[in-house]
Amino acid sequence: MFFLLASIVKIVVVFTVLMVSVAMLTLAERRICAFMQDRLGPNRVGPFGLLQPAADGLKNIFKEETYPAQADFWLFVLAPAVSFIPALLTFAVIPFASPLPTPWGQVPMVVADLPIGFLYILAIGSLGVYGIVLAGWSSNNKYALLGGLRASAQMISYEIAMGMSAVAVLLLAGNVTLSDVIARQSTSLATWNVFPLFLAFFVFLVAAFAETNRLPFDLPEAEGELIAGYHTEYSSMKFSMFYIAEYSNMVTASALMVTLFFGGWDIPFTSWDNVGPFTIWKTLATLAAFAVKTGFFLFFFIWVRWTLPRFRYDQLMALGWKVMLPTAILYVTLTATAVWLLHTVLGWPYGTNFALALTGLNVVLAGVLFWVLDDGRIIAGTGEPRRAA
C-alpha cells in the first residue's frame, strides 16, 4: 500500500511540476529572446510577466476549434495526443534526487525505477514521430504533409546516432538502469561521463537538438518554406499540444543529458550526498543540483535557437548520415576497445585513473573530428566551394 501511495504522489507531483515548468519555459524563451534582441518581451500580465503563460493558455482554451473539411477527422484529433503523451512519459524513468527517507522506508526519487530505463526512453521517445506524421498526413494539406515527412526522416536519422552515442555510456556503466549510471559517475568529478566520453556527449547533444526539432534543426516547421509545417491546420489547444510536446521533449532531453553525462543529481566536489544515511536535506540539495544542471541545458537550447541560422535540408540529412552516424559507430568501437584494454588487459578498476585515460583518448579523437569538420572536407558551407579530395 505504501509503494502504491508513494507512486501516486510521485506521479502527481512530478507531472504537475513538469507541466508548470513547460509553461514557464515558454515565458523564459520569450524573455531570453527579447534580452538577446535588446527589447523587453512579455511584461504586462502579472509581475515580470509571470502570468503570461496562464493568459496564453486561457486564450488557447477559448479559441474556436477549426477542422479542415477534407481532413481525416479522427486521426486529425488523435495526432496531438500521440505527440504529447510520449513527451511526458519519457521523464518517468529519470532519477532527479537522492532517495527520500520516510518512516516506512526509503522512497527513490524517480517515478518508475525500471531496470531498462534507458531502453524505455528510446522506445517511448520514438513514438512521438507518429503524432507528427499523422498530423501532417491527416490535415490533407501539402505543406503539413511535407513537414510531417521531413520530421519523420529527420527524427529517424538522428535517433540512430543518439542511441549509438549512448551505448558508450552503457559500456562504462555496465547497466541500462539510469540509477546505476548516476552511481557510476559519483566517484569524483573526473568520472562524470562528459570527460571520459566527451565525443559521445557531443554527438548526443547534436542529436538532441534534431530530435526536439529545435533550431538549427527545425526544418519540419520552417515558416519561410512550409508556413508552419505539420501543425499548419491546427488551432486552439490542439495547436498548443504540439508546443507542449516540444518543450516537454526539451526538458526530458536536458534531464537525460544531465543523467548520462553530468552525474545526474550528484553534487560536484562532494561525497556526502552519495552515501547514507540519506536525509531530507540531502534530497533537497541533490534536487537543487539536478534542477540547476537541467536549467543550464534548457538555457542552452534557447541560446542556440536565437543565435544560429537554420540548416538547408540537404545539409541536415548529410550531417546525420555522413557525419553523426559514422562518428558514433566508430566511436563506440574505439571506446569498447579502450575499455577492454584498460579493464581486461591492464586490470584497471573503473575509477579516476581509468576515466582520465579515456579523457585523453577523447581529447585526441575530438581534435581530429573537429579539425576534419572545420576544414570543409565533408560538408561545405553555403557559397563555399567543396575542396577536391
Classify residue 270: in a domain, yes or no.
Answer: yes
Tally of domains within the chain: 1
Domain that holds residue 156: 66-374
Residue 226 has pLDDT above 70, yes or no: no
What is residue 116's predicted lDDT score, i.e. its pLDDT?
83
C-alpha 378/C-alpha 135 separation (Å) is 34
Retrieve residue 259's grid coordinates.
543523467
Global pTM value: 0.88
What is residue 389's predicted lDDT score, i.e. its pLDDT?
47
Classify residue 357: in a domain, yes or no.
Answer: yes
Looking at residue 118, its amino acid is F
What is residue 262's predicted lDDT score, i.e. its pLDDT?
92
Residues 6+ apart with CB under 8 A from 124: 86, 89, 90
C-alpha 167/C-alpha 75 separation (Å) is 35
Place of cell 506524421: 133
Q: Alpha helices, DSSP H only, in the chain?
A: 2-36, 52-62, 73-89, 117-125, 128-138, 142-173, 178-184, 198-211, 223-226, 236-261, 280-305, 313-318, 325-340, 352-374
Retrieve residue 27's grid coordinates.
515565458
DSSP 69-117: TTS-HHHHHHHHHHHHHHHHHGGGG---SSPEEETTEEE-SSS---TTH
Query: Please, what's the b/e burial string for 281-292 (b: 16 or more CB within 10 A of its CB; e: otherwise)?
Result: ebbebbbebbbe
pLDDT tens-digit series, residues 262-320: 988 888 888 787 777 888 888 899 999 999 999 999 999 999 988 888 777 788 888 88
Where is pLDDT greater, at 272 or 16? Answer: 16
Query: Taking residues 148-174, what's their average pLDDT?
Result: 86
Retrieve residue 124's grid coordinates.
517511448
pLDDT tens-digit series, residues 41-58: 888 888 888 899 899 888
Looking at residue 267, its amino acid is I
Classify residue 51: in a domain, yes or no.
Answer: no
Classify residue 282: in a domain, yes or no.
Answer: yes
Classify residue 53: in a domain, yes or no.
Answer: no
Instruction: Provide the mean pLDDT of the chain.
Output: 85
What is residue 299's predicted lDDT score, i.e. its pLDDT?
94
Classify residue 220: in a domain, yes or no.
Answer: yes
